[in-house]
Structure 1
Amino acid sequence: MTAQLNGPSAIGHRASAATHGLSIQDAVELLTVARQTAIKVVRNQETQMAVTKVIDDLRETVQGQTATTGDVIQRVGRLRALATAVGIPTLASVVGSATEAITELALSGAFG
């Protein structure tokens, strides 16, 4: 099963993405795409497991009833840092789109 990208994503010169009307469910779908990308492009099993664990942790936080903006932003930072450290541009791009959308939600008050 392939998840459909339904939310902000922009690739290319002068591309832009908007998060107007983005829901938490949209953000979860973006994390699903990020997880699928990690499984597809990260060859090292330990690294792949680490990335998918951080994605799953962020997803659980975003979907949780007690998520706070601080919790979400902290986990977003952890995922961005890990995706950058892995050094695979495709993964960094997909994670960047997902985390940007989640950050926008957090800063607009979607979490407690």
Structure 2
Amino acid sequence: MSRIFTVSVASVYPHYVTKLERKGRTQAELDEVIRWLTGFDDAELRRHLEAGTTFEDFFAAARLNPSASLITGVICGHRVETIEDPLMRRIRYLDKLVDELAKGKAMVKVLRA
């Protein structure tokens, strides 16, 4: 089991926000991407962040977007679509979406619309 599985989403969330704000994106855009990927509404997302939910429990509770499988490419040196562990793949989906936002990709493209 990877160490990231037991890390709280709330401990990584501020790093996502910082990365995006440095690139001219917003926390609201980050939240939109997380809601799209997980199926959480804003209240559910806030509850998970306040509760310190681990990545493992966060994605266990998520209703993964059916279009998530369209997320492809390289993140942290690995092709997202070839990651075998389902939980790690979901975590990397989130990383990839954050990266695409930070690189200035249009929200409609990030959300695979």
TM category (shorter chain) comes to 0.3 to 0.5
TM-score by length of 1: 0.34
